[in-house]
Amino acid sequence: MHERAGQPAQPEDLIDVGEVVSAYYDREPEPDDPAQQVVFGTSGHRGSSLDNAFNEAHIAATTAAIVEYRRSQGYDGPLYLGRDTHALSEPAWRTAIEVLAAADVEIRIDARDSWTPTPAVSHSILRDNGAGTSGGVRTEGPGLADGIVVTPSHNPPRDGGFKYNPPHGGPAGSDATSAIADRANELLRAGWKQIPRVPFEQALAAETTRKNDYLSAYVDDLVNVLDLEVIRSAGVRIGADPLGGASVEYWAAIAERYGLDLTVVNPEVDPRWSFMTLDTDGKIRMDCSSPNAMASLRRVMATDLEAAKQLPAGSTWLDLRTLPTTDGTALPYDIATGNDADSDRHGIVTPDGGLMNPNHYLAVAIEYLCQYRPDWPNAAIGKTLVSSALIDRVVAGLDRRLIEVPVGFKYFVPGLLDGSVGFGGEESAGASFLRKDGSVWTTDKDGILLALLASEITATTGMNPSELHRNLVRRYGQSAYARIDAPATREQKARLKQLQPDDVAADELAGEPIVDRLVEAPGNGEAIGGLKVTTESAWFAARPSGTEDVYKIYAESFRGEDHLAQVQAEAKQVVDAALEG
């Protein structure tokens, strides 16, 4: 951990916005350098202009490749275009508009000339394609809409990001992203300045460029996916921190539209993120699942936890409301929440438990929704294979079907789209779920939705999510969960992706027999790009990093922290032996 993790950023930690934006226009990538090519990860192409990895050339080429791809697929409806608050997002958004206008693509840009959360873009794509109507979502035929979101999500301020969402509204699959990236790199090599473009002001004035009120469409529709009246009538006091991201105006609109006792904790937008506390590695990162990045909001919610422990058994959030904080003042909020820059992730802070582990909150949300959404009788629950096994136990206790998929929200899209999956969630604090009637809401992660759900849970049950997690622990056991990194060469990472179950020679892990060795996700048969090994009370999963010379080891044990440490140590031995073999 960095020595200043969790401490406020200092001037030396901040980017020079002018330098970052100038580099976007002034620097050109070397098309034959893999580090400077267009590469789509699980959430689009990301990089920094300062590294020649996210420059005007990349965005012009990628947008042109998207134009060609959507035409090849017959997508001829409007393209919904949104951006977040990163310094590189507006320049990239402008470049995309110039290329799209030159190609006569119908564009839908924000009516307020402002920021657009990822879930609002997904919501608008789906509504255009029929979501919320008796006919349901169309995925074939003329007039299909799709979209682009200009965002690197929670990445540091120096980075930019660019992702494509097809007509299903969610992250594009590897078939689409591979085709787009390959074609974009061909255009870079051929000379990106030959790509047709229209001057920005002319592009804005084009008949094909139209305004879309993303905010009203999203906020007005929330009543069909959440019980906002129960939040209002219970008087739940909410503190929402956008962390300087695209949700800032949405939270204010939600409070006004539904009469909620909701305060936007920090309405400031600064592309340097000078108000942030440093993440675990000492960088500014808008990761709402990180205790260090969320240190400011955690301090706002800090109560005298020792006093909380003295409350009588059965006490709930209603008793905590009058509990004095360490400075003797009243607790300001019953629930506090955070979002990352494009609002597709959520962080939940409770007065009696601090920032919740994302796995813990997912388990609570799943049990609550399955009990309080009567029109979801047959909907399965989706989780990534590196999410907590507590979710497995909760889903089994609900007698629901569990669908375990590889890392990547795109794997939940088909089930959310047709209503067969009621909830899809990732261990990295990204999730979405169905409308109350069992139809699709968004097929991309929705951090605003999951943040508001915490208040609905509190209002409906009389207990906050931390209290409900403690109830789950009493029923299903306490687990220890962590992720560590281990060094790996490029060749070893490639080998890890190709491992087979027989490559694991060990038959025990941390004193327990190995019961399963997985290289494909049981929920959909897709390759997991690594290995997962399970025992009766523990598991680990190893996956190569896409950006660093390491592989990631996710591990969990229901036998405590010491056993988890043993699982982690032996996991590294198992993987290293398999890679050497």
- Are the C-beta atoms of 457 and 349 separated by less than 8 Å? no
Please identify which residue in the block is written with the tokens 């759900």.
453
Please identify which residue in the block is written with the tokens 């281990």.
486
How far CA 219 is from CA of 74, 123, 229, 318, in Å, comes to: 31, 10, 14, 28
- Are the C-beta atoms of 554 and 532 separated by less than 8 Å? no
What pLDDT, on a 0 to 100 scale, did the predictor assign at position 366? 98
What pLDDT, on a 0 to 100 scale, did the predictor assign at position 324? 64
Burial 188-218 (b: 16+ CB within 10 A, else e): beeebeebebbeeeebbebebbeebebbeeb
SS3 83: strand
**85 backbone dihedrals φ, ψ, rounded to 5°:** -100, 5
How far CA 551 is from CA of 74, 554, 575, in Å, comes to: 39, 10, 10
- Are the C-beta atoms of 145 and 78 separated by less than 8 Å? yes
Closest Cα to residue 121, out of 328, 342, 311? Answer: 342
- Are the C-beta atoms of 351 and 409 separated by less than 8 Å? no
- The DSSP bridge partners found for residue 480 are 557
Q: How many CA atoms lie within 13 A of 47 on its CB side?
A: 25
- Are the C-beta atoms of 236 and 204 separated by less than 8 Å? no
CA distance 117 to 195: 29
* Element spanning 489, H or E: none
Residues in the chain: 581
Q: Give the pair of three-digit tokens for residue 65.
A: 């490749």
With 0-12 / 13-18 / 19 or more C-beta atoms within 10 angstroms meaning exposed / middle / buried, residue 475 is: exposed
The angle formed by the CA atoms of residues 486, 34 and 96, to the nearest 5 degrees, is 115
Please identify which residue in the block is written with the tokens 């992660």.
445
Closest Cα to residue 226, out of 442, 426, 419? Answer: 442
What pLDDT, on a 0 to 100 scale, did the predictor assign at position 545? 81
Please identify which residue in the block is written with the tokens 């969402």.
165
Of the options 3.30.310.50, 3.40.50.300, 3.10.28.10, 3.40.50.620, the CATH number for the domain spanning 480-580: 3.30.310.50
- pLDDT, tens digit, 9 for 90 and up, residues 396-414: 999 999 999 999 999 999 9
SS3 8: strand
- Are the C-beta atoms of 346 and 452 separated by less than 8 Å? no
SS3 150: strand
What pLDDT, on a 0 to 100 scale, did the predictor assign at position 306? 59
Q: Which residues of the chain have pLDDT under 50?
A: none
- Name the active-site residue from 49, 89, 124, 153: 153
- Are the C-beta atoms of 254 and 232 separated by less than 8 Å? no
What pLDDT, on a 0 to 100 scale, did the predictor assign at position 322? 67
Q: If you compute the radius of gyration of the chain from its CA atoms, what whole number of angstroms results?
A: 23
- Are the C-beta atoms of 83 and 115 separated by less than 8 Å? yes
Torsion angle in degrees (nearest 10) through CA of 289, 291, 296, 301: 90
Report yes or no on whether pTM surpasses 0.75.
Answer: yes
- Are the C-beta atoms of 209 and 98 separated by less than 8 Å? no
Number of neighbouring beta carbons within 10 Å of residue 403 = 20
Q: Please provide the DSSP assignment of 96-137 as one string.
A: HHHHHHHTT--EEEETTSS---HHHHHHHHHHHTTTTSTT--
Q: Largest alpha-carbon pair distance within the chain?
A: 72
What pLDDT, on a 0 to 100 scale, did the predictor assign at position 424? 98
DSSP assignment, residue 386?
T
Q: Give the pair of three-digit tokens for residue 563.
A: 């056993």
Of the options 3.90.660.10, 3.30.70.260, 3.40.120.10, 3.30.565.10, the CATH number for the domain spanning 11-214: 3.40.120.10
Question: Do 11-214 and 480-580 share a fold?
Answer: no
Indicate if 153 belongs to the active site.
yes
What pLDDT, on a 0 to 100 scale, did the predictor assign at position 462? 94
What pLDDT, on a 0 to 100 scale, did the predictor assign at position 367? 98
Q: Give the pair of three-digit tokens for residue 137.
A: 């979502």
SS3 484: strand
CA distance 358 to 340: 14
What pLDDT, on a 0 to 100 scale, did the predictor assign at position 419? 95
Q: Give the pair of three-digit tokens for residue 433.
A: 């779920």
Beta strands in 202-321 (DSSP E): 209-212, 238-241, 262-264
Per-domain residue ranges of the chain: 11-214, 480-580
With 0-12 / 13-18 / 19 or more C-beta atoms within 10 angstroms meaning exposed / middle / buried, residue 154 is: buried
SS3 55: coil
What pLDDT, on a 0 to 100 scale, did the predictor assign at position 76? 96
What pLDDT, on a 0 to 100 scale, did the predictor assign at position 265? 92
